Amino acid sequence: MPIFATGARPDVDTRRGISPVTHPVLAAQAEALPPPPSPRFSFRRVGAIVQRHIYLLRGSWTRLAELAYWPMVNVLIWGFISRFFYDHSDWVSKAAGVLLGAVLLWDVLFRSNLGTSLSFLEEMWSRNLGHLAVSPLTSIEWVVAMLTMSLIRTLLGMVPSALAAIPLYHYSIFAMGPPLLLFFANLMITGWAFGLGVSALVLRYGQGAESLAWVVIVAIAPFSGIYYPVSTLPDWLRPVAWALPPSHVFEGMRAVMFEHRLPLDELGYAAGLNLIYLAAGCGLFLYVNYVARVRGLFLGMGE
């Protein structure tokens, strides 16, 4: 028997003293192994990966809708902005910083929603939902904790931006005075309502619905009158806008900046709608949370 540099025969497993060539089990396993990939480019393998992702799109309506969603939102927002400024070219000069103020207030709404949703998604990503389900934590306590974290995230995100706008653009959103607190509170509540609703949908439909945390809140942006009055919208879209609390908040912001008055009517409408939205969002989350606890859905969720 020839001796090789390694001191063993090439067809013998020296640790077990068996040959993979002659041992029937190992020989069968060797034959079952797939052949090594060919070094030549294969359109078949490319098509297999493409087909896999097409199946993913077909199996998830959220992924499919998202492909057309973001371009459509951009077209709506910038289309209405262009339409408004075409007829009101001197509008910005009448109130310095009106667009910057709108951006900062929109960020409050966006971060409030995202802060609530992320507080839930982070528990899901870390596979901590099952632990929360068996802990003494009640559903109401969980909701309050999520809303508290949303407030903290929003303040940490907005305050530096608002302060940076003062030396950079010589604009202070704090010059609005007490109405700013009312605008802030209403936008926070709206974000909480949508964030709880999105969390309930993710809990119901799984990780395929995660993108709703960003999609849903941006969907209402074109109809909220952020950068233009609601009157810019077509007549048939205005009832949709007036049914959204943010549209009243941004109309109120423009009343403060252009007319220098406290828009109690707009704030009242926004507060009333927010009570309805928050009750609906909280109720939906609590219901889906109860169903998930009963059916044990928490244990199967996570990355």
Q: Which has more pLDDT, 27 or 169?
A: 169
- Which contiguous run of DSSP H or E holds residue 145? helix 139-169
Does residue 76 sit in the same domain as residue 27? no
Residue 270 has pLDDT above 80, yes or no: yes
Residue 274 has pLDDT above 90, yes or no: yes
Which residues span the domain enclosing 204? 69-300
CA dihedral of 277, 281, 283, 285, whole degrees rounded to 10: 180
pLDDT in tens, 28-80: 665 666 666 666 777 777 777 777 777 776 776 666 666 666 566 666 766 67
60 is a domain residue: no
Q: CA 231, CA 215: separation in Å to the nearest integer? A: 25
Structural domains in the chain (count) = 2
pLDDT in tens, 182-212: 999 999 999 999 999 999 988 887 776 777 7
Does residue 5 sit in the same domain as residue 101? no
Note the Cα 158 to chain centre separation in Å. 18
226 is a domain residue: yes
Does residue 74 sit in the same domain as residue 29? no
Task: Name the β-bridge partners of 18.
Answer: 13
Backbone angles phi, psi at 244, to 5 degrees: -105, 130
Tokens of 234: 């077509």
247 is a domain residue: yes
38 is a domain residue: no
50 is a domain residue: no
Does residue 29 sit in the same domain as residue 73? no
Does residue 165 sit in the same domain as residue 216? yes
Tokens of 72: 């459509």
